[in-house]
Copies of this chain bind each other. A is one copy, B any other.
Amino acid sequence: MVSVATTQLDPAEETEPVKLGRRRDHTRDPDILAAAVDVLAECGYEGMTIDMVAARAKAGKATLYRRWPSKGELVIDAVACMKNGDLNLSQLPDTGTLRGDLIAMIKPHSIEDGEKKLRVIAGLMSLLAHSPELAETARVSVVEPRVTAHRFLLRRAVERGEISSRCDIDNLSTVTTAMASMRILFERKTIDREFLISLIDGVILPAVGLGAGPAAGADPESRAAGDTAVTAR
């Protein structure tokens, strides 16, 4: 993480207080980091070169090195800036039923966003083992928000009395993200609405005792009523 102090007028600071001449244009930092994320998603950490990032950001290579001391630091900042996805605040859906909430979380943009982030993580997976800092940054940016969202919905279902408090909320709130990661990273398939609904109806809901019959899960069309009503967009 690089300290992005801009104009820094603190008088009690180092011996170089005031800067003359042209100022560094920090409004371009997000573009550079976004370019880095793009290249990371396509090429991985080792395949990514500083020239690629500079070219995609329409910036000079030297400019990047003026702002980040090394490729590694740039990548850490790039991964950290992925955190701001779509489900940041708890303005999560509240449909009154757990199934309605889970279905309402399925949004094309969120899927696309998640797939890209997973591709980025895949590209620097080999670094995670040797860089705990990067590993934690990646976890916080990619998996933690999704797991937290699911945990929130499950806890609300408990408070609502819809499901038992004895449910294994910690594990269940991780299932969807884990299964989606597996599908993208290992099976090289994409995530679609049908797959996510099969997880909800075949794993999550049966596991909390909300299966259609006892231990059901097949025939998801039979309950499409509460589905399409909620999932506009």
Contact = CB atoms under 8 A, between A and B. Distances in A.
Interface string A207-222: 1111101111111000
Given A123-B125, A182-B177, A188-B128, A172 B214 contact: no
Contacts of A22: none
Contacts of A1: none
Interface stretch (A39-47, A66-74, A101-109): A39-47
Nearest to A185: B125
Given A126-B124, A182-B177, A187-B139, A168 B217 contact: yes
Interface in A166-210: 166-168, 171-172, 174-175, 177-179, 181-182, 185-188, 198-199, 201-203, 206-210
B171 A203 contact: yes
Given A172-B203, A214-B164, A215-B163, A186 B143 contact: yes
A89 to B, nearest CB: 23
Nearest to A40: B126
A209 B202 contact: no
A126 B126 contact: yes
Contacts of A214: 164, 209
Interface string A45-64: 11100000000000000000
A209 B203 contact: no
24 contacts: A46-B46, A46-B126, A122-B126, A122-B129, A124-B126, A125-B185, A126-B126, A128-B185, A128-B188, A135-B186, A135-B188, A138-B186, A139-B186, A164-B216, A166-B216, A166-B217, A167-B206, A168-B202, A168-B206, A171-B179, A171-B199, A175-B179, A178-B181, A203-B203
Interface of A: 43-47, 119, 121-129, 132, 135, 138-139, 142-143, 163-164, 166-168, 171-172, 174-175, 177-179, 181-182, 185-188, 198-199, 201-203, 206-211, 213-219
